[in-house]
Structure 1
Amino acid sequence: MKQRHIPALDGLRGVAVLMVFVYHYGGGTHSSNRVMQLFGFFNKGGWVGVTLFFILSGFLITGILWDSYDDPHWWRNFYMRRTLRIFPLYFGTLLLVLLAAAAVGTFLPALKMIWVPFLFLQNIPPLIDNINRLPSPFPLFHFWSLAVEEQFYLIWPFLLVLQKTRRRAQLLCLTVFLLACAFRICLWQFAPNPDYVEFILTRAGELAAGGWLAIAYRGPEWPRVERFAPATAMLGGAGFLFAGLHCHSFESTSSWMMELGLPGITLCLASILVLAIRPGLLQRCFSGAWLRWIGSISFGIYVFHVLLAKVFHFLTHQLAGNRGPMVQNAVFFVIAAIGSVVAAWLSFHFYEKRFLRIKKRFTPISESPLVASQSSD
């Protein structure tokens, strides 16, 4: 019998949000200290925390869908649960952005642009500039990943339901993964455009990789997947490392990173997910109480750590404005970490939970055998 709840997946989500946070606040690239410079060089690859989010999402959502298709109300239950999990904080944030714009006198220009994130279109290349130019003290440039996931939720259930066997479902996942690789190769070889880093066709492979694992988890081949996971993790990690060192940057926009680094790190992180499910050292590490707690409020941390950046800047200036750059950066990091966690905790317990309780009304008859936590499923 497969486990109904695996705490290590909550911990993996915590790792993912910590990677993204350090990516945005770790700094070090322009430091005069050699150690910090080296840290900053590798920290440019912290964007892979979003890749881990996508793999986890593909794994959990595909599993939930596959196990609930016998329920006559599967589509209603699925979309209501997704809506109750994502929409309250998401659209509450958009309202906060508009109120902040009104406070600084830019309400009407912001209102004219807010339709882009309102429709989850902020990852569409021609529209990305609207988000970057949104005239509000609260930025939304990091919301592109939420658009990718919502577009995935809109399309994936109806593609998956057409697959009548596990083999066909796995073939669908593999096809999407390969098509995403082919799309990136064609684009970055002939018409490279950094705006497409956030496009659904660029990132669909990460979600599909998680989906493939979800189907495999429910079949007899899972022991074989576990056996090959360590070698796959090392091979994929080596591909990511080679791509970054070859082009002297771990940023996501280079052709090497898009063509080799992204599929490599996807395979690596997908294999780590497999090892986290299997009893052993990694499962014990990811099952730590503090890491699972971070994972339980990771959605809020992801939203607020960028949204409140200017607030964190202001507080840093007040506390360490006359100190050196190293001290200011350290204070900024600590304030942002504490502020993001506190904001996420308050949001989760006093706002989001009110909607999460309603999710119980839309629980599938055949509940998925694998659930991460009530904050994410």
Structure 2
Amino acid sequence: MGLALPFFKSSLSTATVQEPIPLPRGHIPALDGIRGLAILLVTIYRFAGTHDGGLPSWLQPAMEFGTHGVDLFFVLSGFLITGILFDAKGEAHYFRNFYARRTLRIFPLYYGTLALVLVGLPLLGLGISWLNATGDLNSLWWYGSNIRMSQTGLWNFGGLNHFWSLCVEEHFYLVWPLVIFACSRKWAMRVCITAFLASAGARVLWMLTGGNGAAAEVFTLFRLDALCAGAWIALAARGEDGLTNMVPWARAVLVAIGAMLLPLIAMRLQLKTIPTTLYAIFFAAFIVLAVASAKQGWLSFLGRSKLLLWLGKYSYGMYVYQNLLLVGFASFFTAGTITELTGSAAIGRIGFILSMSLLTAGIAWVSWHAYEKRWLAWKHCFEGKKPVKSAAGAAVAT
């Protein structure tokens, strides 16, 4: 299987190993389900009022777990992007196709939202004071808001604070194709391990030496551990053994890391960001098991759940819009608004979560069908030419 971390390399004898588990190729619905799960976690966290004291103390840890939906997004992104890049090696227009397809998926919504909020609304006389942003908004245009936040140590982009994660992803997309192109599978796995350890170690060192917490959460180099964890399993799964040797250890990792995380979640311990690395490993193991169970098994529901698949399809728009809606509505519609009408804080909070989640999902649905998919229709112009077998068995280009 090539280079493997201890918790993924199987020590089982051939007599006890299960039937071979190949890596599924093509579209894997379970991964769409995971994307849906990630946005569900983030959405509940966003609207649950974890920062305004709107929840009972006993429920706070569970709701705050939702913020780790971003970690799941990162691991999933590393897995998917690395798989796409590795499988495309040797094809004509390797770089052009990747960057063009990513541009068509990411830029229209990202820059369209910035244009609407930062240019369109002021032209209509509505201004942007409602954003509550004091950061350098110009940095958003070059995917630099996370760098500015790291420099200042402040979450000072208001309704656009959440764009930091899109910046991290874009920086990864910019550099990672070069790594996969230049390295063999084994060397790329070594790069993943090195970057994983360097990222986690640098982030912990940053906190130990008094660095600001914002940078630890948003700076690109401090968030590579999750992306590289996903990238590593994508490369490992493309070894000759596929997922066979990875599955037993993924189960063990899921249980062991899960047992470590539960008390940390309950006690809301940060431990100098060490749990961030544990989440990266936990979600990497989760994805391995989900892919191995894509058609049958205890995680196969991820690829069958209509709700998760629907959320996965519109997750990008939901992520982009939800914080803007939260901040934009803050002056006239909050959980407190519903509480005043019903006389129940619990109904107020639950009603707010449901209503804002439905509104976000609805806007994301309209955005995808009216705007985003128009750009996505051009992706077929940048598809790689895959080899097929001729009648004589020789590979020919199509």
TM-score bracket relative to the smaller structure: 0.7 to 0.9
* Separation (CA, whole Å) in 1 of partners of 2:98 and 2:286: 27
Question: Normalising by the residue count of structure 1, what TM-score does the alignment of the two structures yield?
Answer: 0.86
The offset of 1:286, in angstroms, is 4.3
Aligned pair count reads 353
2:251 maps to 1:230: yes
Give the corresponding residue for 1:330.
350
Q: Which amino acid aligns with 1:66?
A: F
The offset of 1:131, in angstroms, is 8.8
Distance 1:38 1:173, change over 3 A: same
* Separation (CA, whole Å) in 2 of partners of 1:174 and 1:4: 26
Q: Which amino acid aligns with 1:170?
A: M
Give the corresponding residue for 1:375.
none
Q: Which amino acid aligns with 1:47?
A: T
2:328 maps to 1:306: no
Any idea what the Cα deviations from partners look like across 1:225-267, whole Å, max 9, x if unmatched? Answer: 112111111122233334445xx325xxx3x1512x1111111
Aligned residues of 1:121 and 1:127 also touching (Cα < 8 A): no
Q: 1:258 aligns with which of 262, 266, 273?
A: 273
2:183 maps to 1:168: no
Give the corresponding residue for 2:204.
185
* Separation (CA, whole Å) in 2 of partners of 1:127 and 1:177: 20
The alignment partner of 2:57 has SS state of helix
Aligned residues of 2:92 and 2:384 also touching (Cα < 8 A): no
The offset of 1:348, in angstroms, is 0.5
Q: Which amino acid aligns with 1:329?
A: R
The offset of 1:25, in angstroms, is 1.4
* Aligned pairs for 1:199-218 within 5 A: 199-218=219-238
* Separation (CA, whole Å) in 2 of partners of 1:206 and 1:297: 22
Moved more, 124-133 or 307-316: 124-133
2:146 maps to 1:123: yes
Greater share of residues in helix: 1
Aligned residues of 1:51 and 1:266 also touching (Cα < 8 A): yes
The offset of 1:87, in angstroms, is 0.5
Distance 1:29 1:112, change over 3 A: closer
* Separation (CA, whole Å) in 2 of partners of 1:150 and 1:338: 28
The offset of 1:23, in angstroms, is 1.1
Give the corresponding residue for 1:24.
46
Give the corresponding residue for 2:87.
67
In structure 1, the gaps of 5 or more residues are 368-377
Q: Which amino acid aligns with 2:121?
A: A
The offset of 1:362, in angstroms, is 0.3
The offset of 1:16, in angstroms, is 0.2
* Separation (CA, whole Å) in 2 of partners of 1:284 and 1:110: 41
The alignment partner of 1:46 has SS state of helix
Aligned residues of 1:30 and 1:37 also touching (Cα < 8 A): no
Moved more, 286-295 or 340-349: 286-295
The alignment partner of 2:146 has SS state of coil
Distance 1:69 1:141, change over 3 A: same
Aligned residues of 1:29 and 1:37 also touching (Cα < 8 A): no
Question: Normalising by the residue count of structure 2, what TM-score does the alignment of the two structures yield?
Answer: 0.81
Give the corresponding residue for 2:121.
100
| Structure number with larger C-alpha Rg | 2
